Chain A
């Protein structure tokens, strides 16, 4: 099946700093989503981005499907950005099941 690798595994920032999270995938995809998992376990949708670039406030994402990677940018980070960020993809031959990466644990200190 399709493989998803996220980097870095851990990231520690001071409030106000910018960061870039990366997601590499091993095959063509029909869907790519970025999620933020809060401390209670809820997966919050950040972006649905199988290709192209999107922005939502301080967050933006870019997926280059031909090169099999996606980037999530967080600008002017806040302590509330802390948590686990997951990239998940639907492989080209799948009905729709998401395959998740291992996540990036982000900690933002005040």
Chain B
């Protein structure tokens, strides 16, 4: 049983560049979530997929952010025209529709210079 995986683990970019992160959920989990965590804070919800449908988006997800889950398996999170305020840990989680809770990947740490 492999857990949730995320790539890359670290990303350093310059302000204004675009970045894309990938999340591979646990294979039988049809729900997938993205969260963002800044230093000293708890993770904050960004968006949620059930299969390939994006069912909820946080107001934190500005127009520069887009997430996809085209075949209901892996998901990508893209940030366009990165800003220094985007520097954070981006966490992905997956779950079954009922019970057992959400399981998190190791995260992608983004640094925008």
Contacts and interface: CB of A to CB of B under 8 A. Distances in A.
Interface of A: 31, 33, 35, 40-43, 45, 48, 86, 88, 95-103
Contacts of B37: 41
A110 to B, nearest CB: 25
B21 interface: no
Nearest to B97: A96
Contacts of A102: 41-42
Given A40-B106, A95-B56, A98-B33, A45 B101 contact: yes
Contact of A96 (B91, B95, B106): B95
Given A48-B99, A95-B56, A96-B31, A42 B106 contact: yes
Contacts of B109: 41
Interface pairs A-B: 3 shortest CB-CB: A100-B42, A48-B101, A43-B104
A31 to B, nearest CB: 6
B107 A41 contact: yes
B65 interface: no
12 contacts: A31-B101, A33-B101, A41-B89, A42-B106, A43-B43, A48-B100, A95-B48, A96-B102, A98-B35, A98-B102, A102-B41, A102-B42
